[in-house]
Structure 1
Amino acid sequence: MSDPSQHAGDTPLYPIREVSRLTGVNSVTLRAWERRYGLIKPQRTPKGHRLYAQEDIERVEQILQWLNRGVPVSQVRELLDRPEVSEAPMADASDWPGQHAQLVTATEAMDLARLETLYAQSFSLYPVPVCIAELWAPAVRELEEHWGDRLGDTLQRLSLEAFLRTRIGTRLLHANARAQGPVLLMVPMPDDPGTLWRLLAALAASDYGYRVELLDTALPFGEIPLAVEALGASGVLMAGSHAGRSDLVRRQLPRLAEQLEVPLALCGPVARIREADLEESRVAVLGDDLDQAMAELSVLLPLTRLPLMK
């Protein structure tokens, strides 16, 4: 560990930025856990800055363990105060399922104010992998299953894409300024009609520690090696929501992987659907569980430092 302060008794204390680095929980979430739920109680400097002891860091890791088991944040404090409890209680039916239903309804109604509330609430209280796995990816999957040729479907999708592009783009901008990991180039699948899975994958990759360069428009495959060189990318990741054209997946993607000097990976529903078609190729098929996809990507594209809790 690094960057600790000392107090009476020579016990090291850590500022919030260091606790965030060590645990993978951003500072906004740490403050929300303290203020709204009393889950952690850091000490304060005379100027009001938070300082965390090793016991606080261990408590953050315990919180993450409960959250990753599906326990709502509102129930975690009771579990932390009862160390004899080893089994997670049944999740509150009004938590993830309720938020899921609200997210789908708000998207269909194009209720941007409600979307903003759900976005801010989820990402301020829960780590990014939990938010994606429990709320955003399931909601996107349900919406895409319902969207077709009905009047208003395209408008709903474009509205949600624009909403997430703005907010995730802002997060990427700030995260890239701090990230120390390799550059990951994300480009669209040429025939994928939407960007939702790519945006979620970009958020997951950024949270994992990569510096994400996200392109909104598909590049001709012949120009992707040029983009890799120009941006100094150490890997290329594509994400898609649909099966894609057979010739694209079976022939063009493997050919591109042979041409690139860096790994080429595929995630999202397209990766799950087309896994068998790419089995003999150099394309890394990561599936549609984005947290697991990032763990597999880190083997192909190692990070100098990984978050402790994933």
Structure 2
Amino acid sequence: MTEPTQHGGETPLYPIREVSRLTGVNSVTLRAWERRYGLIKPRRTPKGHRLYAREDIERVEQILQWLNRGVPVSQVRELLDRPDIAEPEAAPPAPGDWPAQRSRLVVAVEALDITRLETLYAESLALYPVTTCVVELWAPAIRELEERWGERLGDELQRRTLESFLRTRIGMRLYHGNALVEGPTLLAMPLPDDPGTLWLLLAALVAGDRGLNVRLLDVAPPLGELPLAVERLSASGVLLAGSHAGRTDLIRRQLPRLAEQLAVPLGLCGPVARIRQADLDDSGVAVLGDDLGEAITRLQTLLPIA
């Protein structure tokens, strides 16, 4: 454990790594709370290193309590600076309080708190049906995170950490589920050039829960090889998922051409399906939307009965 620095011989001051250890809040998030929202104001050494007093650590704990109550981080400063508002109790959100649960999930991702993510993942799947968890909790939280992610330091780290976490858990669930299901085989992969696989993983989770035998590819193969993949894997359908609009040539020319070449349905889901709906209306691509529960239901109506 790092010993606190003494300031003026009286006030102990802590470096950011120690504050992160004490509070469970990642240093990237602590810096964001300082720079973007002005929630904390650490002291600085002559070389610019942050030092936190005990009252700063207590303030971080108060921030966490408000966030756990579902308060957006942008509104926390006003609450902290108003002495007439009672400090919240650190109570878990009530069952069905989706905004509060989504807030807890977003905070855990931004803090890179894998232990907390594990708890939230296990709790959500234990309390609710898979489709409910995805539609009410995980998909909206990922949509909120993607709206925040841009060029900030740590954004890509958050995305990749969450992808790795979900890939491991969902991959294991699919592995065991595929051994038991007798439904059609679905070949699922990300839209080429999409920046991540989060929407694909959630769609695969729902599809597996619906009794489909999901063959998950982290990276899409060349589109010209998909007919061969369908044949070799005896797939009854292909599902592409994406979070961004995708290249215009890919959407307007390559996907419709691929739909004509495949002997099975080709579906598209995730935010890209909502964004590109008009571009694909007259094509052979099944545009399934970004509500993943409805998307998999629509896809199932297109697949042959096993």
- Quick check: TM above 0.5? yes
Rounded to whole Å, the distance in 1 between the matches of 2:297 and 2:185 is: 16
Deviates more, 1:236-245 or 1:293-302: 293-302
- In terms of Rg, which structure is larger? 2
Matched, 1:270 2:306: no
1:253 to 252, 255, 268: 255
CA shift at 1:253, angstroms?
0.3
Aligned residue in 1 for 2:231: 229
Partner of 1:195: 197
Residue 254 of structure 1 and its aligned partner are, at CA, apart by 0.3
1:266 maps to amino acid = L
Residue 258 of structure 2 corresponds to residue 240 of structure 1: no
- The structural deviation recorded for 1:95 is 2.7
For structure 1, list consecutive stretches of 5 or more residues without a partner in the other structure.
1-90, 305-310
CA-to-aligned-CA distance 1:207-256 (integer Å, 9 cap, x gap):
11100000011210111111111111010000000000101000000000
Change (3 A) 1:264 1:109: same
- Cα distance between partner residues in 1 of 2:231 and 2:163: 29
The corresponding residue for 2:155 is: 153
Query: Structure 1: how far apart are the matches of 2:296 and 2:201?
Result: 14
- Whole-angstrom CA distance in 2 between matches of 1:231 and 1:111: 37
- Which residue of the partner structure matches residue 30 of structure 2? none
**Corresponding position of 2:180:** 178
- State the AA in 2 paired with 1:248: L
Which amino acid in the other structure matches residue 136 of structure 2?
E
Matches of 1:261 and 1:104, distance apart in 2:
40
Measured in 2, the distance between the counterparts of 1:211 and 1:185 equals: 9
TM-score normalised by length of structure 2:
0.68
Residue type of the alignment partner of 1:216: D
2:76 matched residue in structure 1: none
- Name the aligned partner's letter for residue 298 of structure 2: E
Letter in 2 for 1:141: R
Q: Give 2:285's match in structure 1, choosing from 283, 286, 295.
A: 283
Where does structure 1 differ by over 2 angstroms across 4 or more consecutive aligned residues? Answer: 91-95
CA contact 2:245–2:276 (8 Å) conserved in 1: yes
Which residue of structure 2 lines up, in the alignment, with residue 219 of structure 1? 221
Q: Kindly provide the amino acid, as one letter, of the partner of residue 155 in structure 1.
A: L
CA contact (8 A) 2:187 2:216 kept: yes
The match for 1:167 is 169
Aligned to 2:206: 204
Conserved? CA contact 2:236–2:304, under 8 Å: no
CA separation in 2, counterparts of 1:104 and 1:290?
Answer: 19
Matched, 1:118 2:120: yes
Q: Which SS does the other structure have where 1:223 is aligned?
A: helix
* Aligned-pair identity (%): 68
Query: Is the Cα contact below 8 Å between 1:184 and 1:211 reproduced in 2?
Result: yes
Amino acid at match of 2:99: P
Aligned Cα root-mean-square deviation (Å)? 1.3
CA deviations on 1:3-46 (whole Å, 9 max, x unpaired) are xxxxxxxxxxxxxxxxxxxxxxxxxxxxxxxxxxxxxxxxxxxx
Deviation at 1:118, TM superposition (A): 0.1
Alignment of 1:12-27 (within 5 A): none
Look up the equivalent residue of 1:256 and give its one-letter code. Answer: L
Q: CA deviation at 1:97?
A: 1.6
User: 2:101, 2:137 within 8 Å by CA — same for their partners in 1?
Assistant: yes
1:267 maps to amino acid: C
